[in-house]
Amino acid sequence: MLSGWQYRLRSVGGVAVITALAVIAANSSVVHALFTRLPVVGRLAADAPMGAELVFELVTTVLIVTAAFLPLYKPRPRRILDTIALTQKRVLVAMLTLAAIGYFDYTYRLPRTTLIAITPLLLVVLPAWFVWIRRRPDGDSQRAIIVGDDPDAIETLAADIDIPLLGYLCPTSVITAGTSAKQTPAIADGGLQLSGVDRIGGLSRIEDVLVEYDVDTVVLAFNHTDRAEFFGALDACYEHGVDALVHRDQADRVLTADSEVGALVSVDVEPWDIQDHMLKRGFDVVFAVAGLVLLSPVICVIAVVIKMNDGGPILYSQDRTAVFGETFEVFKFRSMKPESESVEPIDDDENGRITRVGRVLRQTHLDEIPQLWSILVGDMSVVGPRAVWTEEESLLEAQEQSWRKRWFVKPGLTGLAQVNGAKSTDPEEKLRYDLQYVKQQSFTYDLKLVVRQIWKVGLDVMSTIRR
């Protein structure tokens, strides 16, 4: 990425120039001729500005759009998808501001033709511009750091790795307690050197270091991959669009490319490609909104029936594990008796914990409806590995070594394991299906699983009605 002042100069100048060109293009005779031929908006072309009005419109629009992009002028590593999403949000903020000014202040009114014409242009061109200026200049070498809690592994990697290292992150207590640390000289800022590489902070500084040093590769050197710090480092790499490498001996608990060879392998922190990711998120939003709207009468009926059944709460909430071990609160219609949770994966029906209403809700899958809200806000997806209760997660991890590979994909309302009837009481089968989905995932594969799940739900509903 460009240095601070260069990035700011190009980002501000790019936004101003692109916006000005968009306004000029929107007021060209060609564009107005096109609008004139459209029956719905043809009449809007009559308010085209001329002369001084056009100059005033141009200056005002450029100033407002440039100001709207203020949060994006600070150079920092970001995922490409996040850059695109943030840029498009700022475009919409600027367009709404311009429309509001015209509505409340009649001394200035941006012609509606201009708004209609420049909005799609800016939604496409400005994200492309910000993605382009984030690229690393030709000839600029990679910038890597080592992050971990194993001083011996850090020394070994620092000596063997080919990528230029800026430094390493490691807790001070771990280094000073290690045998290798006794032979390392202190450096001026209070850190320690390992194999000639400077310590630049503890694990808690990882996000600050990624931004400050414009890091593009993180090498992980942890004693164990089941520590929260390990997945916290992967989460930071994911959020900032930074590549992650691990030693091959630790590759059994992370997603990697099967074809890679060598001591270090790349972690697939973002297994979805950009096209499928955008399609998947768009489908999630449409599915969740449609489901909540169409099922709103059913939701009201279920709420009344649950309340009348035993007077208990309508919704049941639980903390579930999300991407890279983060947690979120998921809601379902309550199907069990209050205070009947169990950490152990057991058959609830056999233990008399399910209410009469809850049994029907489970058989028809209607208890899952509130999870549409989690899909809408982005905590879940329609398709993915089933989100597991955080208290149950540790038990399942102890049984299956590769369990945490599920953490690299957003949890789903349904998935390959659910379609094939796998349950938490059989974690080995469930994990096998989940990992198969992770390897084969694509937007078209998701659609096939959704169709299969809808067909399965329909059969379960018909079976329940016949009883």
- State percent of the chain over pLDDT 70: 74
pLDDT for residue 189 is more than 90: no
Q: What is the pLDDT of residue 3?
A: 57
pLDDT the model gives residue 26: 77
For residues 334 and 214, what is the distance between their CA atoms, to the nearest angstrom? 48
End-to-end CA distance of the chain: 64
3-state helix, strand, coil in the chain (%, to 5): 60, 10, 30
How would residue 285 be classed by pLDDT, with cut points 50, 70 and 90? Answer: very high
Q: What angle do CA 122, 128, 132 make, to 5 degrees?
A: 140
For 340-381, the pLDDT digits (tens) are 555 455 555 545 678 888 888 888 888 889 999 999 988 899
**pLDDT, average across residues 115-132:** 88
- Band of residue 85 on the pLDDT scale cut at 50, 70, 90: confident
Q: How far apart are CA 258 and CA 265, in angstroms?
A: 9
The domains located in the chain, with CATH, are: 4-133 (no CATH), 144-267 (3.40.50.720), 274-466 (no CATH)
Tokens 């029936």 found at: 305
The pLDDT of residue 125: 93
Residues of the chain with pLDDT > 90: what percent? 10
Q: Among 225-234, 427-436, 446-455, which is the least confidently predicted range?
A: 225-234
Q: What is the C-alpha separation between 71 and 403, in angstroms, rounded?
A: 38
Angle at 260 between CA 259 and CA 266, to 5 degrees: 125
pLDDT band at 286 (very low <50, low <70, confident <90, very high): very high
Render pLDDT for 4-15 as a digit per residue (tens, 0 to 9): 677 788 889 999
Question: And the tokens for 16?
Answer: 């101003």
CB 60 within 8 A of CB 49: no
Over residues 37-58, the mean pLDDT reads: 55
Quote the Cα angle for 68-69-70, to 5°: 95
pLDDT higher than 60, residue 199: yes
For the purposes of burial, counting CB atoms within 10 Å of the CB of 36, is it exposed (0-12), middle (13-18) or buried (19 or more)? middle
Start-end of H helices in 226-336: 228-240, 274-294, 296-310
Pick from 221, 228, 227: nearest CA to 178 = 221
Top-confidence range, 116-125, 136-145, 276-285: 116-125
Confidence of residue 441 (pLDDT cuts 50, 70, 90): confident
**Nearest Cα to Cα of residue 336 among 352, 347, 324:** 352
CA 366 – CA 41 distance, rounded (Å): 45
Contacts of 433 (CB under 8 A, 6+ apart): 415, 416, 417, 420, 422
Which strands sit side by side in the sheet containing 165-169, from one edge to the other?
193-194, 197-201, 165-169, 144-148, 217-221, 243-247, 264-267
Which pLDDT does position 45 carry in this prediction? 44
> Is the full-model pTM beyond 0.85?
no
Are 454 and 368 in contact by the 8 Å Cβ rule? The answer is no
Mean pLDDT over 189-197 rounds to: 64
Q: What value does the mean pLDDT take over residues 319-338? A: 83
Average pLDDT over residues 41-52: 48
Q: How confident is the model at residue 293 (pLDDT cuts 50, 70, 90)?
A: very high
Count of Cβ atoms closer than 10 Å to residue 372 Cβ = 22
Two structure tokens written together for 355: 């209410």
Predicted local distance difference test score (pLDDT) of residue 389: 80
Taking Cα atoms as reference points, which of 238, 214, 12 lies closest to residue 126?
A: 12
Q: How many residues would you count in the chain? A: 467
pLDDT of residue 15: 92
Of 252, 257, 408, 399, give the one whose Cα is nearest residue 322: 408
pLDDT of residue 275: 64
What pLDDT shows up at residue 371?
Answer: 92
At which residue do the structure tokens 């049994």 appear?
A: 359
* Mean pLDDT (whole number) for 68-92: 82
pLDDT above 50 (res 30): no
